[in-house]
Structure 1
Amino acid sequence: MKGRDLYPWGWWTAGVIGTPVLLLAIGLTIVLIFADEMDFDLARWWWLMGIGPLAGLWILWTVARRRRSVQAFASASLAPLLVEGFSPVRPVWKASLQVAALVMIAWALIGPRWGTYLEKHRVYGVDVVVALDVSKSMLAEDVRPNRLERAKQVIRQQLTERTVLGRANRLALIAFAGSTSLKVPLSTDLSAFRNRLEQLTVGSAPRGGTALAKAIRNAADLFVRSPEKATKVILLFTDGEDH
C-alpha cells in the first residue's frame, strides 16, 4: 500500500510562492488601472511588498529540510502510513494564508487610497522672482556655452530639484540689463515661466548695461500683493558687472 507524499513539493511551491506573486500581480494591476485616482500614505515603503515572496522562500526551505529529515527516517511510500489521518493539503493552505496575510499587511502599511476628499490648509507659500542678467557681457564664453545659457541651464535644473525654485508656489521672471523688463509676473503657471525663460536672449531688456540695484528694486516691487506671511525670495543671476 502506497500513501500520499507528506510534503507534496508542487503544492507547497504553488501555495507559498504562487500566492504572494498572484497578490502582487493583482495589486500592480490595480495601481496601473487606477493610477490617476490613487495615492499612498507611505509610497516609499513599497519594498515591504517583497516580504511575502521572501516568507514563501523561507517556508519552502523549512519544508525541504523537514522533507529530508522524514526521508532519512522512512521511505517516501512508508512515511505517510506512519502518520494516520495526516492531510498533506491542510498545511499548504495554512502556510499560503499566512503568506497572503503578510502581503496584505504590507499593502495596508503602504496606505493605498482612492477617490478625492476636501481638506483645508492655510498655505502662505513661497514666491520667487528670478532676475536674469541679459547684458552683452553675458555672452562671454568663459563658461560653456556662454554665461547666459549657463545661467538658464542652472535655472532649469533647479526647477526640477528640491531647491527654492523647485518648491516655489509662484514664480516671476525679470530680464535686466541697463533697464528691466518683466517677462512673467508672479504666477503659478510654470509652463509660461519655462517658455519665456527659453526665449530670453541678450537684448531682451531695452537698454544696455547692468543695473543691479534697479533689478532688485523692481523684483521686490512684485511682492506687494504677496501674502504677508509668504516666503519671498529674489534669485539674481548675473556676472556681477554693475554699471
Structure 2
Amino acid sequence: MDVFAQPQSLWLLVTLPLLLAWVVRGLLRRKRDWASLGQGGRLRRDGSLGWLAAITCLILALAQPRWGRGTIPPLPPGHDIVFLVDTSRSMGAEDAVPNRLGVAIETAESLIRALGENPGNRAAVVAFAGRGRLRCPLTENLGAAAESLRELRPGDVQPGGTDLGAGLDVAIDAFGDQDRAEGRTILLFSDGEDHAGTWTTPIKDLRLAGIVVHSIAIGDPAHGHTVPSGRGAAPLAYRGAPVLSKREDRAFETLARETGGAFVPLGLASVDLGRLYQKRIAPIARLKREAIRPSEKSERFPIFVATALGLGLWGSWPSRGRWLRSRRWIIILGLLAPLGAGGGHDSAAARIEHGRSAYAAGHFGEALTAFERAIVLDPRGAIPRYNAAAALYRLQRYSDAITRYSEAHERADASLRTKIDFALGNTALALGDLTAALGHYDDCLASTARGSVMDAVRSDAAANRRFAVEQAKPPSNPSDSKDDPSSKADRPQSPKPDEGEDRSQDDSESKNPNRADGDQPGPHRPSGKQGPGGSGSTPPSAGSPEGRLNAALENIREARSRRPDETLPPTDDQRMDW
C-alpha cells in the first residue's frame, strides 16, 4: 500500500465500528429519555457523529497519505559518459589501421567532439585488460578526457589478459553519486575477447543505476590476426604457438541488449560517431534517466488534519446560543492545526542542517540535494546557495559551483562575500582559469570586512594567489614534470570546502544577518589551518588536502590523471596475456 507512508497506523480503524456502535447506542438512549420526559420537538444533536468523522481523519493522517508529485530539485544539465577502452595486447593487432586501439581512440575522439556541443556534459576514461584502471575521472574538461585517450597503449594495464567484468566495475564506480539530467552511458571499445568470463555479473548493477552500454566492436570477426609481443617483430606466443586474435561479438550484443544500448560492429576503420551520439546515444540515456528517477510523492496528511479540525468544530458547536462545548477537544485540535499548514518540518534551516550532516559524512550528493531544496524554500537567502556551491565543488562540478557562488555573492553581506571571493578563486584555479582565479583572489584581498575569520581567509587567499602566479609563469625547464615530487613541495595546501562550523569572531561579524554559527560548509581553505570558522579538525573522509589540489590541477587543468608506460612489459607465453 504505497499510498501511505505509515500503513501500520491504519489498524486503528478497527476501533471505528465500536465507536460507531457506542454513538448509535447513545443516540437511542437519548431519544428514549427525551420521549419519557414528554418533551416535544426535535432532539438536539450532540456532535458525536462529527467527532467520529474527525477521529477517522486523524487516523488517516497518522498513516501519512501521499500522492501526486512533490517538488523535486532538478538534476543539473549534462550527460555523463565513461569511455571504457580495452588496452589488452590484442588491441595492438594490425588488422585495423594503425591498430585496433588506434581506431578506438579516433572513434572515441569523434564522440568527445559531439559531447562538447552541449555544456555540462562530462567524460571519464577507464582502461582495462586483466583489471580496470581509471585514467581520467569524470570532468567537464573534455580535453582532459581526449588527452587521456591518446595516451593509452596496448598492454599498459597489468596484469594482462582481458577481464571485461573488471573494467565494467571500475566504469560503474567512475560515475560517482551525482546524476545528470541527460543520464549515464558507457561506451565500450574492444575486440570482444574475454578470458575471465565475469562480464555478466555487473549487468544487474548497470540496470539498477540506469546506465546504458553501447558496444563498439573493433577488429576482424572472420579471421584471426597475430598480436604484437612488444619484443621486436616476433608475434605474441602462447604455449609455443602464435596467438591469433579475432573479434568476438557475444558479450557486446548481450550488454547492449540488456541495458538498452546499441551494438556497433565498427570493423577495421574509424568512423565519426557524432551523428550516432545525437540520434541514438543521447536520447536513450535521457529516456533511461527519466524512467528510473524516483518519484517523490507529496505529503497529504495536512489535508486530513485540517478536515478533522473542521469536523471537530462542527461537532462541538452548540445547538443554541451557548459557546463552544468540549473545549478540551478544541484545544487539542488547535495544537494540531499548525500541522495542517504543512511545511513546518521542511524549513530551509532544517534542510541546511541535514545537508551539513550529509556533507560532514562525505555524502556530497545527498548534501547537494538538501541544499538545493533549501534554495527553493529560501529563494532570497545566500547561505543555501553558498552551501550548494561547496557541495558542487566536492563533486568536481566546478562550472556549476561557480554559478551558485555567483548567485550567493549577489545576496551576501560583506563578510560572506569575502569568503565567496576566496572560494571562487579556488574553483577557477581547479578549472585552470588562472586569470579568473587571480581576479577573485584580488577581490578577496581588497575586502574590508573585519574579524579574525576574515583575516584568516585573506591570508589564505594571498597564499593561493602566490601559487596561481607561479603556475601562470612559463616553465623554466621543459623537462620538468608534474610527476616530479620536488615540484610539489612549494605548492600551497589544498583549497577545500570541508568544515561547516565557524571560528570565534568579533562583534561586527557576529551581527551578520545572513548567517548563523555553523550553517555553511564554508569556502575551500588551505588545510594547514582550520576550516572556515571550524575549530574542529578536518573529517577523515575528506582525504589529503594536497592530494585534492593535485588531483584538480592534474585531472582538470593539466588534462590527465596519470601517464601510462608506453613500453610494453615482457610477456610470458605460458599465460593468456592478450
Q: TM-score, normalised by structure 2?
A: 0.20
Higher strand share: 1
Q: TM-score, normalised by structure 1?
A: 0.46
The higher relative CO (CA closer than 8 Å, separation ≥ 6) is in 1
